[in-house]
Amino acid sequence: NSSTRFGNATKVTGILYDDTGEIKITLWGESAKKIQNDDILELDQAYSKKGILNNKQGGMEVIHKM
């Protein structure tokens, strides 16, 4: 858990990779609670900048656990 100005929140950081490269990712709240080490994920409507997942689209990316 991490402390924020809104109280405590669950936070998970990691690296997602495929045959094209890798990106750093941070998940918060319910999304973070659903992910375990070695899970296979698929991201839709997401993009990265300089190897970091960027959600300037207002959090519109969708994460699917495979």
pLDDT tens, 39-66?
888 888 777 778 777 765 556 667 778 7
Its domain, for residue 58, covers 2-65
Parallel, antiparallel, or unpaired: how do β-strands 7-9 and 47-49 relate? unpaired
Cα distance from N-terminal residue to C-terminal residue, the chain? 25
Give the mean pLDDT of the chain. 78
Count how many domains the chain has: 1
Full-model pTM: 0.63
- DSSP tag of 45: S
Q: In Å, what is the CA distance from 40 to each residue of 25, 43, 63?
A: 14, 10, 10
